[in-house]
Amino acid sequence: MAPERELVDAADLVKAVQLAEEQIAAAEAERREAERRRAAELAAAAEERADVEAPEEELDAGCGASTSGLGAVKPWVRDAAETLSCRFGEPTIFGVAGRGGPSDHPAGLAVDFMLDRATGDDLAACALGNMEALGVKYVIWRQRINTGGGWEAMEDRGGVTANHMDHVHISFEGQAGSGAAPTC
């Protein structure tokens, strides 16, 4: 003998399906609203970044050095970069950029000066001699780092640029230096 099957009231089944469809529709509407809010937030953030990071062709009144490669560096970093650039032949300079590993570049607290050996030696010495005035945290040049207490060798990072042989890297403190004119 076959087991008896229980009959289901169709009205209850229809109500359950309708409730499920309403819940799905509500969840979908909530998801769309969240996407709309997120898109609005991203658009606002992009607009704000565009205002801050828009390439500028600001020129230092003293020498006409281009700062377009700096991006959204902190104001005191921009001032120091302009000052040093003017004093050392207006080299190509880079500021905010994507970097792997720890770096002050994404925070707008570092600048790279692309230079020849002699000019790089002079610029590195100037930055170190004016750490307080410029707000310098440390300098990297020719596979060495100096935080103010002398040069220390760094590990081999595998290439000319990675080892800072073709550019002086200057990292800055999280606040402006004294602002005194550098003596170099």
Split at pLDDT 50, 70, 90, the class of 32 is confident
Q: How far, in Å, are 95, 106, 151, 153, 154 from residue 69 at the CA level? A: 6, 13, 27, 28, 26
**Residue reference for tokens 């230079």:** 115
For residue 45, pLDDT beyond 90: no
Q: Are 141 and 112 in contact (CB under 8 A)?
A: no
For the chain, count helices (H), then strands (E).
4, 6
Structure confidence at residue 41 (pLDDT): 67
Nearest to 97 by CA among 58, 136, 79, 71: 71
161 compared with 59, residue with greater pLDDT = 161
Q: Provide the percentage of residues in the chain whose pLDDT is more than 70.
A: 71
Q: Are 164 and 138 in contact (CB under 8 A)?
A: no
pTM for this one?
Answer: 0.64
pLDDT tens digit string along 54-98?
Answer: 333 333 345 777 887 888 889 999 999 999 998 998 888 888 866
Structure confidence at residue 54 (pLDDT): 38
Split at pLDDT 50, 70, 90, the class of 138 is very high
65 compared with 9, residue with greater pLDDT = 65
